Amino acid sequence: MSQNTHVATEPHSLETLVSDWSTDQEVFKKVQWGKAMMWIFLLSDTFIFSCFLTSYMTVRATTMVAWPNPSEVFALTLFGENIPLILIAIMTFVLISSSGTMALAVNFGYRRNRKATAYLMLATALLGATFVGMQAFEWSKLIAEGVRPWGNPFGAPQFGASFFMITGFHGFHVSIGVIYLTIIALRVLNGVYDRNGKYEVVEITGLYWHFVDLVWVFIFAFFYLW
């Protein structure tokens, strides 16, 4: 390691870990502050969603009444056939597609390709809106079938509370993400980041969006598949 620079250059060595954390200035060297702050926000959000999923685990493990079978509750009849969990599967693919377009948008952002970045972000927002729309459909279907936070016709009454809380909070994150993406995409299109050179804003927005997809991975596994 060179003695002159206080910023160690090899990113994955323990030396950089120690030297980064022991400086009395900023810790996250070469990381834009907005990005570091977004990561810390996402860390706190991780704990919120984990609390929801853990309490879901607790009520599901303690209930004396059989838990409703998600495979049947979320089945749809398509083309005359009853397909288990199909709506949730489609929602998963929509969200993963949106993550893909977002990743590409970040990449084009750093290539300074204004239009490709903006349109890919708008495509991401559109896929996100599609996801929220499908969720609204799912909610109205379940509410029509009599699912309430305090009870439902399929089994354990805690099912409704867990469902509305977890998917509701996630859907709220997606909705905020759609608004956030649209605002940043329009700013990209207007050339704001071409002028001030801060294309990392696209990456920061991307972090939030990928996190929403990440949370869905856990909800899909624990709530819908388990």
Partner 1 sequence: MDQATHAVQTPSTPVGTTQGHDDAGQQHPLGVYFKIWGLLFVLSALSYAVDYFGFQGLTRWSLILIFMFLKAGLIVSVFMHMVWERLALIYAILLPPLALIVLVGLMSLEADYTHWTRMLFYETPAAIEPVEHH
CB 166 within 8 A of CB 69: no
Least separation in angstroms between CB 108 and partner 1: 9
| Shortest separation between residue 45's beta carbon and partner 1, angstroms | 11
Of 86, 81, 84, 82, nearest to 71 (Cα)?
Answer: 84
Look at the block and give the residue holding tokens 């083309």: 79
Q: Closest distance between partner 1 and the C-beta of residue 10, in Å?
A: 7
Of the candidates 221, 181, 218, the one whose C-alpha atom is nearest the C-alpha of residue 201 is: 181
Rank residues 50 and 190 by Cβ distance to partner 1 and give the closer one.
50
CB of 189 or CB of 214, closer to partner 1: 214
CA dihedral (162, 136, 177, 223) in degrees, to 10, reads 30
Beta strands in the chain (DSSP E): 76-78, 81-83
Task: For residue 77, list its beta bridge partners.
Answer: 82
- Taking the complex as a whole, the smallest distance from the CB of residue 96 to partner 1 amounts, in Å, to 5
Q: How far is the CB of 201 from partner 1 (least distance, A)?
A: 10
Residue whose CB is less far from partner 1, 186 or 221: 221
* Cβ proximity to partner 1, 102 vs 147, nearer residue: 102
DSSP annotation of 225: I
In contact, 192 and 114? CB cutoff 8 Å: no
Length of the chain: 226
- Indicate the residue among 7 and 186 with the shorter CB distance to partner 1: 7
